[in-house]
Amino acid sequence: MRGFLCILLIGIASCSSLKIPQPKAEFRGFWVATVVNIDWPKNGTDAVLKQQKDFLEILDFYDQMNFNAAIVQIRTAGDAFYKSDYAPSSRFLTGREGKFRENQESLLKWMIHQTHKRGMEFHAWPNPYRATFDLKTDVLSPIHDYNLHPEWMVRYGKKYYCDPGLPEVRHRMVQVIEEIVTNYDVDGIHFDDYFYPYTIQGEVFNDSTTFSQHHLPNQSLPDWRRANIDSLVQNSHNYIKEKKPWVQFGVSPFGVWKNKTTDPRGSDTQAGQTTYENLFADPLLWASQGWLDYLVPQVYWSMELSVASHRKIINWWAKNNNTTNLYIGNGPYKIRANADKAWDDPEELPRQLLMARKTGPVKGNVFFSAKSLMNDHQDIVLELQKKYYQYDALPPISSLAPEMGKNAIDLSILEKTADSLRFKFKGLDGFRYALVFKSGKRKSDEYSIKKLQGKTLVRKNGLVVFSSELLKKRRYVALSFIDFYGRETDPIIVPLKKRTSL
C-alpha cells in the first residue's frame, strides 16, 4: 500500500508539472552586474584569463538552465568596460580607473561571441546618469566626466550624478550608445531603473539653475524632469533604429509606476517610492510611443507582500501595457536572505514564474542577479530545470520588428564527417542561428520546442555545423533559421541519407 501511494504521488507530481505551459518563445534573461564586482569580474585585479573563466561559468550555468539572454552591465558610473572615447576604463574591470589593457576592446567582443555561441542574446547595459559610486573622487581618471565637465555634476547623497536636464549630458549618453552599437554586435541596449536618483529624505537634487534655464513656460519641475528622461529615451531609440534597426532597446523600471492612492490608474500598492513620481520616468508613455522593444519592471517582492504584492503588480503591468513586449524582473537574490519570510519558502520563485507563464501579456522573466542561483539553492535550481526550463525557448520577437519577407534559402552541400554534419546553404546573409528539429519526410504543421534538437551559429558563407551524435539515426531533419531580428523562417526538410562532399 505504501509503495502504491508513492507511485500515486509521483504520478500526481508528474501530471502537475505537465500543467505548466512550455512556450516556444520566452525571454529568459539574467542580469550580470559589474558595479563593485557584484557578479563579474570577481575582482578587477584578476588576470584576463581568470575573468574569462569566471564569465564562462556564468554563461554555462544559465546555458544549462536553457536561458537565452545575458544583460551585461558595461558602464557602471561614468566608466566603460570597453575602449571608449567618452569614458575611462572601469576600475571594476582593471583594478584602477583609466588603466587600459591592450586586449580590453577584444574582451567585450569575446564576451559577445561566447554569449552568441551558446545561443543567447547579449544586451549591453549602460547606466545613464550615475557619475560616481561614492564620494572618493580621487580614484577617478583625469578623463572622467567629473574632472572634464564639473558643470555637469550634481552631488546627491553619497554620489555624483550627471544632470539629466542639460542637453549636452543627454547628447553624451546618445554618443555612448552610438559607440556601443557601432562597434559591437550587441542584440540590445538596456537601461535599468536609475534615471533621476531615488529620493533621499532631507536631501535636495540641486538642479534649480538648469531648470530655470531650460524649462518651458508653465512647466512644473516634475514634468520638466520627466520630459528630460523622455527625450533621452526617444533619442536613444531613434539612433539605435537608424543605425541597426534589429538591435532592441529595453528598460527595466522600478516595479511600481504609481500607487493608486495618488492616481486611480496606479497599482493597489503602498510603495514608498514610484518610478513616475520619484525617478521621473514614465515607461508607459515610452511604450505607447513605440520607443521601446521591451519592458522589464523590477518586481522583486513576494507574491502576497501587503505593501507591494508581486501578484497585484504583475496583473497591473499586464493590464496597462499592451504596446511592447513585457517581461518580469524577479529577485532570486532574496531567497532565504530577506526580512520577508515568504522568501524562505522554496516555492516562492516557482510560483512567480508560473504566474508569469499563465499571464498572457507576459512573455518572459529576468533574474537579478546572475550569481543568485549559482552557488546555493540547489533545490530550487533543480525544480526550475525540471518543471520550467526543461526545454529551450526562443527569445520573443519585438513588436517593432518588420514583417519577414520570403527567403530564398537553398541547401547546396551536406557532408558527414567523423563527428559532425555540415550543411552549406545559399541565402543566409542576415541570419544568426540555425535550428534543427526532429522531422519526418513530410513537413509538420508545427515544430514545437520539444522537437528542437539543437541551435547553432550560422558561420561564414552559409555554413551550419551540428554534431553527428546529436542527429544520430535520423533519416530526416527540419532546419529553420533565425535572423538578426529574431524572426524564424519556415522549416526546410533535409534527408540525411543524401550527402555530397564539401
CATH number where 445 lies: 2.60.40.10
Q: For position 7, what pLDDT does the model report?
A: 45
Q: For position 114, what pLDDT does the model report?
A: 98
Answer yes or no: is 13 within a domain. no
125 class by beta-carbon count within 10 Å (0-12 exposed, 13-18 middle, 19+ buried): buried
Answer yes or no: is 2 within a domain. no
Over 70: is that where the pLDDT of 255 sits? yes
The arithmetic mean of pLDDT across residues 185-209, rounded, is: 98
Clarify whether residues 424 and 384 are in a common domain.
Answer: no
Answer yes or no: is 468 within a domain. yes
Residue 200 sits in a domain whose CATH number is 3.20.20.80
Q: Render pLDDT for 325-384 as a digit per residue (tens, 0 to 9).
A: 999 999 999 999 999 999 999 999 999 999 999 999 999 999 999 999 998 999 999 999
Answer yes or no: is 43 within a domain. yes
> Confidence band (pLDDT; 50, 70, 90) for 443?
confident
Over 80: is that where the pLDDT of 446 sits? yes
Q: For position 416, what pLDDT does the model report?
A: 85
Q: In this structure, what are the phi and psi dihedrals at residue 363, rounded to the nearest 5 degrees?
A: -120, 20
Clarify whether residues 129 and 171 are in a common domain.
Answer: yes
Clarify whether residues 375 and 454 are in a common domain.
Answer: no
Q: Render pLDDT for 100-151 as a digit per residue (tens, 0 to 9).
A: 887 766 899 999 999 999 999 999 999 999 999 999 999 999 999 999 999 9
Clarify whether residues 87 and 159 are in a common domain.
Answer: yes
Clarify whether residues 241 and 165 are in a common domain.
Answer: yes
Beta strands (DSSP E) in 338-409 are: 362-367
Clarify whether residues 164 and 307 are in a common domain.
Answer: yes
> Of 28-42, 57-71, 410-424, which range is least confident?
410-424
d(CA 119, CA 122): 10
Clarify whether residues 434 and 482 are in a common domain.
Answer: yes
> Confidence band (pLDDT; 50, 70, 90) for 18?
low
Residue that the C-alpha cell 557532408 belongs to: 415
Over 60: is that where the pLDDT of 441 sits? yes
pLDDT more than 90, % of the chain: 88
Q: For position 431, what pLDDT does the model report?
A: 97
- For residue 358, what are the domain limits? 21-388
Beta strands (DSSP E) in 247-375 are: 248-251, 294-295, 325-330, 362-367
Q: For position 499, what pLDDT does the model report?
A: 54
> Confidence band (pLDDT; 50, 70, 90) for 502?
very low
Spatial strand order in the sheet of 410-416: 410-416, 420-426, 463-467
Using the 3D structure, point to which of 388, 420, 443 is the last residue of a domain. Answer: 388
d(CA 275, CA 198): 9
Pairing verdict, β 159-162 and 153-156 = antiparallel
pLDDT more than 70, % of the chain: 95
Over 80: is that where the pLDDT of 309 sits? yes
Over 70: is that where the pLDDT of 3 sits? no
d(CA 14, CA 321): 34
Rounded (5°) CA angle 17-438-409? 130
d(CA 110, CA 108): 5
Over 50: is that where the pLDDT of 13 sits? no
Clarify whether residues 382 and 415 are in a common domain.
Answer: no
Answer yes or no: is 298 within a domain. yes
Query: Which positions ≥6 away from 438 have C-beta within 8 Å?
Result: 451, 453, 474, 477, 478
> Of 2-16, 20-34, 284-298, 455-469, which range is least confident?
2-16
Q: What is the 3-state secondary structure (H, E, C) of 152-191?
A: HEEEECCEEEECCCCHHHHHHHHHHHHHHHHHCCCCEEEE
Q: What is the 3-state secondary structure (H, E, C) of 222-246?
A: HHHHHHHHHHHHHHHHHHHHHHCCC
> Confidence band (pLDDT; 50, 70, 90) for 15?
very low
Q: For position 498, what pLDDT does the model report?
A: 61
> Confidence band (pLDDT; 50, 70, 90) for 8?
very low
Answer yes or no: is 371 within a domain. yes
Clarify whether residues 472 and 367 are in a common domain.
Answer: no
Clarify whether residues 341 and 454 are in a common domain.
Answer: no
Answer yes or no: is 286 within a domain. yes
Query: How many domains does the chain divide into?
Result: 2
The arithmetic mean of pLDDT across residues 236-260, rounded, is: 98
Answer yes or no: is 154 within a domain. yes
d(CA 498, CA 501): 11
Clarify whether residues 378 and 422 are in a common domain.
Answer: no
d(CA 13, CA 18): 9
Clarify whether residues 416 and 281 are in a common domain.
Answer: no
pTM: 0.95
Set of cell numbers at residue 370: 546572475
